[in-house]
Structure formats: C-alpha cells, structure tokens
Amino acid sequence: MNLLGIDIGGTKTSVCIGDEKGRIVASRRMPTRTPEGPESGIRRTIELANSLLSENRLTLKDIEAVGISAPGPVSVPPGLMLAPPNMAGWVNVPVVRMFQDAFHRPVFMNNDANACALAEYLFGSCRGTQNLVYLTMSTGLGAGFIANGKLVQGVTDTGGEIGHHVLDINGPPCPCGQRGCLELYCGGLNVANRLREQIVTRRIRTAILDLAGGDPANIDFKTFVEAVKQDDPFAVQAWHDYIERLAQGVGTVIMFMNPEVILMGTIAIHAGEQLLGSLRAALPRYAWKPGVEACRILPSALGPAIGDLSALAVAIDNLKK
Ligand SMILES: [Zn+2]
C-alpha cells in the first residue's frame, strides 16, 4: 500500500512516499518559509509531492491515503491548523481541505506530538506497547498518549498537552495565559533563554558561556548539557532545578497513565543517560514506586525518520478506523 506523508514544521516541511510497514520509498524536504503564508507554503508542498510521485513513476491513483503531521494546536475533525506558536499568520488554515482539493485522496491530520506517539506505537523500538507515552522534548514540550492501544485525542484535541500542565501557580507567565507551565521550566528554548538571561544580568562566569564561544546568543541546550558534564557549578545547580521540574511533569504522567514506556525525543536523545539517569533518580519523589519501576524511560530510536514516519502513522491509524 502506498501512502503519502507530509510533515509540516515551522522551519522545514517534508514529503515522503512510504507504506504501512513504515518503509520509506522516497523523501524530500524544503524550507516552509512560514512568513510567506499558508497558501504559498501548501502550494509548494503540493508541487513537491507531485514531483516526488512522478520521479518514482507513481500517480495519485497509486496513493491510498495522505497523512499529515502538523504543529499543534490542530482541530482534527474540520482539519484545521489553529494558530501554531512558531508559525505567525498560519491561523485557522483548512489544511486537510486544501490537500484534499489538490490530491482527491483521503487526507488525515494530527498534531506532531500525537503523530510521533503513533509512529512509536506502529514502528518504534517498543512498537505494539499498549500504554505508551511520547514526549517531544525539543524547543517546546509536547506529548502523545497511547492508552490501551489507542491514541488519546480528547474532546477538543488537546489530550496529552502536558507542556501546559501547571507546576506552580505562582510561576512565571506562559504565553498560553496560565502561569508556571511545565514547558516554561523544561522546553529547550525556554531553558536556554532563562540561562542566558541569568548569565548576562548576573554576570555569571560559567562554562556554559565559554562553550558558547563567549557569545550569550550561542547559548542553547547543548552548551548547557556539555557544561554539566564539565561539573561547572552554575550549570550543575541549573541542571538539578531542570531535572526536578521534569520529574514533576513525568511523575504526573506516570500517576495519571501508569504507562509501560515513556519515549523521549530530541533533548533526551542528545543528553542520553545524563538526563535519563538523573530523571529516574528524581521520579520517586513525584510518583508511586510500583508505577515508576514498571515504566521504562527511553530515548526514541526512530532517529531523523520520525517526522516522515509520524505523517505515515497518521494515515495508517485513520485507515484502520
Ligand atoms: Zn502554558
């Protein structure tokens, strides 16, 4: 069965041809060029898909369905991208209808965190695990929950939005309107921004700044992780605070869901055991022991293909319904 997968991101958009086993026949990516607006972005995605099909001697008639992974929030039944935080101007975009009009094939969409959870469930190292959670752990912090073998969508499509679970009602304001959300403490971008601000305003001497070549603008999560490895005192204290907040969020997931496995994306893949070991040690303060001991916490093993696979997984999951 041939499927078309479209992975829309704030920076890049990828189009792939693959099958129900997660075999990717061909894949191509392009810059999304977000500021040019959704009409232009989607027209260029359609052109890319058509040229990928013809290069592989396929036509749209050979495609069973189209799956789209898009930055949240999305509204699934009407097929809208609502207002992704990193894509200004992409508001209430009828993505599913636009691709349906162009392709005349069934088109399905979900948010990227849910799509990644489906990809892990169908193709990942723990595929088939009935109770599985995927945490994106990238610039932001999103999650997709699989419970009893089914994706938890929720009544307004926000099932699994643990990035905006409030950890501290007196915490800093979040762009979502609440205060003290998990993503403020543990999203890669927010962590880097907070470290930069502290280092600059308090003129802190730290290996984080040295690793950034002395330029605060170059501070990111990687320089943070490297400085912790070097036992830099400021970085180690900040790491302790970060892990404690992450454990608070992950502990909540374990108490709510009692999952068999939690798979983690970008930051956990990069930081590896440095992060996972610290997190496991902190978790018993936030969740009951049997649940913590029964839950494996692993970095995702799908690698850079997860974007394409997540889009295919959205199509496969909907074809099964
Ligand atoms: Zn929030």
CATH numbers and ranges of domains, the chain: 2-119+304-319 (3.30.420.40), 127-301 (3.30.420.40)
How far is 65 from 3, CA to CA, in rounded Å?
5
- CA–centroid distance, 182 to ligand 1, in Å, is 7
Q: What does the alpha-carbon distance between residue 67 and residue 314 come to, in Å, rounded to a whole number?
A: 5
Distance 54 CA to ligand 1 centre (A): 43
In the reported structure, the alpha carbon of residue 316 is separated from the centroid of ligand 1 by a whole-number distance in angstroms of: 31
Strands 296-299 and 261-264 come out as parallel
Q: pLDDT category, 86, cuts 50, 70, 90? A: confident
pLDDT at 85 over 90: no
Q: Using the predicted structure, report yes or no on whether residue 298 has a pLDDT greater than 90.
A: yes
CA 38–ligand 1 middle distance (angstroms): 25
Rounded Cα–Cα distance for residues 26 and 56 (Å): 8
Record the tokens describing residue 166, joined without a space. 């409030």
**Does residue 155 surpass a pLDDT of 90?**
yes
266 alpha carbon – ligand 1 mean position (Å):
20
The reported pLDDT for the residue numbered 8 is: 97
| Rounded Cα–Cα distance for residues 190 and 257 (Å) | 26
Mean pLDDT of the chain: 97
**Cβ count within 10 A of residue 88:** 12
What is the pLDDT, as a whole number, of residue 321? Answer: 87
pLDDT at 82 over 90: yes
- Judging by beta carbons within 10 Å of its beta carbon (0-12, 13-18, 19+), is residue 161 exposed, middle or buried? buried
pLDDT digits (tens, 9 = 90+) for 14-37: 999 999 999 999 999 999 999 999
Q: How far apart are CA 243 and CA 280, in angstroms?
A: 10
Rg (CA), the chain: 20
For residues 140-150, give the mean pLDDT.
Answer: 97
- Measured CA to CA, the distance from residue 281 to residue 19 in angstroms comes to 40
pLDDT at 297: 98
Q: How much distance in Å is there from the Cα of 184 to the middle of ligand 1?
A: 7
State what percent of residues in the chain have pLDDT above 90: 98
- Of 206, 228, 225, residue with least CA distance to 216: 206
Say how far apart CA 162 and CA 142 lie, in whole Å. Answer: 6
- In angstroms, what is the span from residue 179 Cα to ligand 1's centroid? 7
Residue 319's contacts (CB-CB under 8 Å, 6 or more residues apart) are 64, 65, 106
**251 token code pair:** 């502990």
Q: What is the pTM of this model?
A: 0.95
Q: What is the whole-number distance in angstroms between the Cα of residue 249 and the centre of ligand 1?
A: 13
CA of 79 to the centre of ligand 1 (A): 23
Which tens digits make up the pLDDT trace of 22-75? 999 999 999 999 999 999 999 999 999 999 999 999 999 999 999 999 999 999
**pLDDT cut 70: percent of the chain above it:** 100
- Bridge partners of residue 111, in order along the sequence: 70
- In this structure, what token pair is assigned to residue 202? 């308090």
- Residue 177 CA, ligand 1 centroid: distance in Å: 6
CA of 157 to the centre of ligand 1 (A): 16
Which of the two residues, 24 and 139, has the higher pLDDT score?
A: 24
Ligand 1 midpoint to CA 141 (Å) = 10
134 alpha carbon to ligand 1 midpoint, in Å?
A: 19
Residue 221: pLDDT band by 50, 70, 90 thresholds? very high
* Distance in Å, CA 178 to ligand 1 centroid: 5
Q: How far is the CA of 250 from the centre of ligand 1 (A)?
A: 16
Is the Cα torsion angle 80, 141, 313, 148 positive or negative in sign? negative
What does the alpha-carbon distance between residue 229 and residue 214 come to, in Å, rounded to a whole number? Answer: 18
Residue 212 banded pLDDT, cuts 50, 70, 90: very high
Residue 162 · residue 253 · CB < 8 Å: yes
Which residue in the block uniquely carries the two structure tokens 């978790």? 283
pLDDT at position 124 is: 97
pLDDT of residue 276: 97
Please tell me the distance between residue 193's alpha carbon and the centre of ligand 1 in angstroms: 16
Using CB atoms within 10 Å of the CB of residue 114, give its burial: 0 to 12 exposed, 13 to 18 middle, 19+ buried: buried
**Gap from CA of 175 to ligand 1 centroid (Å):** 6
- Residue in 73, 96, 239 with CA at minimum distance from that of residue 157: 73
**How many Å lie between the centroid of ligand 1 and the Cα of residue 89?**
20
Q: Is 72 helix (H, G, I), strand (E, B) or coil?
A: coil
- Cα(173) to centroid(ligand 1), Å: 8
Q: What is the mean pLDDT of residues 100-116?
A: 98
